[in-house]
A and B are shown apart, each in its own frame.
Chain A
Amino acid sequence: MIVYLLCFILFLVGLYGVITRRNLVKIVISLSVMEFSIFLFLALIGYVDGGVAPIVDPANPDVIYVDPLPQAMVLTAIVIGLATTAMLMSVIIRLYRKQKTLDIREIKNLRG
Chain B
Amino acid sequence: MEAAISVILVLMILGAIFAIHAKDLLSAVIACGIVGYGLVICFLLLKAPDLAIVQIVVETITLVIMVAVVLDSTREEPFTKPDRLGFVNIVTALLIIVVVFYFLNLATASLDAFGEGSLRMAEHYITGAAEKTGSANLVTGVVFDFRGYDTLGEATVLVTAVLGVLTILRIKGKK
Contact = CB atoms under 8 A, between A and B. Distances in A.
Nearest to B2: A3
A51 B19 CA distance: 35
Nearest to B108: A4
Interface in A30-73: 30, 32-33, 36, 39-40, 43-49, 51-58, 65-69, 71-73
Interface string A68-97: 110111111011111111110111111010
Interface residues of B, number: 85
B130 to A, nearest CB: 4
A75 B2 contact: no
Interface in A1-39: 1-17, 19-23, 25-26, 28-30, 32-33, 36, 39
Q: Chain A interface secondary structure, helix, strand, loop or mixed? A: helix
B7 to A, nearest CB: 10
Contact of A49 (B51, B70, B115): B115
A43 B54 CA distance: 14
Contact of B86 (A20, A58, A74, A82): A20
Nearest to B159: A83
A68 B138 contact: yes
Given A1-B114, A80-B154, A94-B169, A75 B100 contact: no
A25 B25 contact: yes
A46 B165 contact: no
Nearest to B10: A6
Contacts of A93: 69, 72-73, 169
B20 A25 contact: no
Interface string B155-175: 001100110110011000000
A75 B48 CA distance: 10
B164 A29 contact: no
Contacts of B96: 15, 19
Contacts of A47: 46-47, 114-115, 117
Q: Which 8 A-B pairs have the closest CB atoms?
A: A83-B161, A54-B138, A49-B115, A6-B9, A19-B93, A17-B20, A72-B142, A56-B130
